[in-house]
Amino acid sequence: MKPRLIIAESDESLAEDYGDFFWKRGFGVEVAGDGLRCLELLHQFPPHALILDHDLPWGGAEGVVAAMRDEFHLATIPVLMIADEAGPQSASLNTTPVVAWFRKPIRLDSLWSALSVEIPELITEGFLNQAESLLPATRRDIDDQMSTRGLSAR
């Protein structure tokens, strides 16, 4: 079964980038551009996790999180919060279901790593191989690759 992900992001181009990144890695992805659509998708398409923009219009992140807390089946969905500033903007966003905060601009591999902690189903050999391929190459790896091509990195 594909892991399901909702990306609720007010910036359409960022939402598309995030969606493409996770879709290419085998996720079923739905995108919401505002809080109302996000809540609608949470009910129609219960995800394994939610990536939530703090500045989401029409309900905002606080409204979405408050609604999730009120419904048992939504309260257990981990939320990865993304914001222009680091850390919680209010105490209500510093507790479950919010499990992590990310400051924009985001390194997508950081979100990928956080999801691997929150979605245990991702810890498979295929996932680990995929995650490893996203890690930056070490200096030794680069030197090895260049020497096999007859080049010098130094």
Cβ burial, residue 54 (10 Å; 0-12/13-18/19+):
buried
In a domain, 75, yes or no: yes
In a domain, 35, yes or no: yes
CATH code: domain of residue 20 = 3.40.50.2300
Residues in the chain: 154
CA-to-CA distance for 72 and 64, rounded, in angstroms? Answer: 14
In a domain, 104, yes or no: yes
- Count how many domains the chain has: 1
> Per-residue pLDDT tens for 79-129?
999 988 765 555 555 667 888 888 888 888 888 888 888 887 766 656 556
Task: Say if residue 144's pLDDT is above 70.
Answer: no
H/E element, 28? strand 28-32
> Per-residue pLDDT tens for 48-88?
999 999 989 988 888 999 999 999 999 999 999 998 876 55
Residue 31 near residue 15 (C-beta atoms within 8 A): yes
In a domain, 146, yes or no: no
In a domain, 27, yes or no: yes
In a domain, 81, yes or no: yes
pTM of the model: 0.74
CA-to-CA distance for 96 and 93, rounded, in angstroms? Answer: 8
In a domain, 141, yes or no: no
Task: Say if residue 29's pLDDT is above 70.
Answer: yes
Which conformational region is residue 29 in: left (phi greater than 0), alpha (psi within -120 to 50 degrees), or beta? Answer: beta
3, 1, 90, 5: which is closest to 54 by C-alpha? 90
In a domain, 64, yes or no: yes
The parent domain of residue 37 ranges over: 4-123
